[in-house]
Amino acid sequence: GEDAVAILKESGLDQVQLVQLDVTNQDSINAAVATVKQRFGKLDILVNNAGILGGWDQKAVSVKTEVIREVFDTNFFGVINVTQAFLDLLRKSERPRINNITSGLGSLTLHTNPDWDHYDVKTGAYGPSKTALNAYSVVLAYELKDDNFKVNVIDPGYTATDFNDHQGGLSV
């Protein structure tokens, strides 16, 4: 985290600060909320970016449910716990935003289109975790629609990051 802050500061973003957060640990989430509250008193944008793949051994016919649970803990339940914990601070913003980072691999529409570029990239744990995230986000957006919130799901596309050993075709 400190390395990332240093890189961002070098690029000119001089107000970047580090807050430690493990989205699978409620104590860690609560501590992050307390830190943001103490430093800023509100939160304008929550970007739920944390995500894990769970390895490539995730065929639907054989994937261990433990793997599915682990992936859902971060990609789905993590987002829900973090979002609910930060809601009070978000409500203090004039225009609160929640951006949930999803994936094309979570799209049921794309997965049933044989012409889609990534049609053959089927994952029994990761994709379903993002499908569930999309569904939760629609409900969340509906519930917050009269409260000045915008809730977005964002698919970055196949991007070169640690996630895929920098094989993705897009740059960060």
Ligand X SMILES: NC(=O)c1ccc[n+]([C@@H]2O[C@H](COP(=O)([O-])OP(=O)(O)OC[C@H]3O[C@@H](n4cnc5c(N)ncnc54)[C@H](OP(=O)(O)O)[C@@H]3O)[C@@H](O)[C@H]2O)c1
Mark residues 46-65: x for contact with ligand X by CB under 6 A, - for none. Answer: ---xxxx-------------
Catalytic residue among 126, 145, 150, 158: 126
| Residue 127: burial class (beta carbons within 10 Å; 0-12, 13-18, 19+) | buried
- Two tokens, residue 108: 């049921």
- Residue 164 within binding range of ligand X, rule CB under 6 A: yes
Report the 10 Å Cβ neighbour count for 90.
21
Shortest distance in whole angstroms from residue 5 CB to ligand X: 13
| Residue 167: burial class (beta carbons within 10 Å; 0-12, 13-18, 19+) | exposed
- Residue 116 within binding range of ligand X, rule CB under 6 A: no
22 vs 144 by CB, closer to ligand X:
22
Catalytic, 130? Answer: yes
- Residue 156 within binding range of ligand X, rule CB under 6 A: yes
d(CA 165, CA 162): 5
The footprint of ligand X (CB under 6 A) covers 21-24, 49-52, 74, 78, 101, 103, 155-156, 158-159, 161-164, 168
